[in-house]
Structure 1
Amino acid sequence: MSRVLQAYKEQEQAIRRVIAKYRSNIADIDDLAHEVFLTGFALELREEIRKPAHLLLRIAKNLSINETQRKINTTTVSIEDSGVLSVYTDERQHSPEDVVDGRRKLLVFSEALASLSPELRRAFVMKRVDGLKFDQIATRLNVSKSTVEKRVAKAMALCEEYIRSQGIEPAEFGIRSKRGRTGGRKRIARFGSKATQDKNEV
């Protein structure tokens, strides 16, 4: 499990208390608490976090201060200049429900990724986030190409299982962990799109 996720679970109440010093609205506290985890986890994907609990509490304070300042600045802008009227006239605007749903899905996916072992998470991120080929990942991790393929496939399967346990269909994220064969070639799902073959990777 991710050290940041573990620290977040252990320190969640402390994090919420920090946020509550600046925000009194329960919904704001919930949103910022989730953002604290997402911010910390994003950092962990790129570098080792030695003191995750300390980091999360610091992020909680900084985000709370920034959000408070943002709201203060927002109230000083005139309605005409802020474009508030366009919210009611532009049908392309996302509804509050869509925004909340999107945040929840992002949180669930991040938790799924954070629950993976470091080896699986590293291979998955290199492939799906950094867009590296299996050969490149194998070289960087000093393992075989086959090992990388297996790690990515297992990571996909575990993410799918976690996401489904939270009441969300993995298909909403474009996740399909099952592997089949077409013409004797393996097919591994790409994130956010249909499963496709990559002749340079398999």
Structure 2
Amino acid sequence: MTSWGSKIGRLFVEHHRRLEALVRRSVRNRETAADIVQDVFVRALAAGPRATAEDDRNVLYAAARNAAIEHHRREHRRAEIISGVLPEQMHASTSSTEAGLEARQALSALDEALAALSPKCRDIFLMRRVDGLSNKEIARLQGISINSVEKHIARALRHCQASLADHIREEN
């Protein structure tokens, strides 16, 4: 009998392209789809085999569809938060047209900084900072260690701070 690692490797070779195409149709982003499918395989490897090879394959496809749905839910939630909260906060805290312009420029710089991150790093950072999930919850959802979650968050923070350095200095 072959090991689960070998079986999952064969499943990857046989199905990853179809799974990526399935997820890409949903998320409309090649890199995000590849990350989602990779995470599905990582979680499947950690979970272990099912009763039959057909069950293993079915679980992969179901997990990929579910991961795409979860991705959409997170993106929708983030969009709601950004569109609902940030404009109100900006208008409440800006006393002049110039201050409003500066706030919009800083927000635009933050959007660009987040867009420059890898999808996985960005998702982990937003899960923590926007969705308010704990590092443990994120680790479970992503199928990675808590230490890896912390490293992604630190990487995102460093990147955002560097990208926003000019805007931060202007405020002080």
Same fold, judged at TM 0.5 (above): no
> TM-score, with normalisation over the residues of structure 2?
0.44
> TM-score, with normalisation over the residues of structure 1?
0.38
Structure with the bigger RCO (C-alpha within 8 Å, sep 6+) is 2
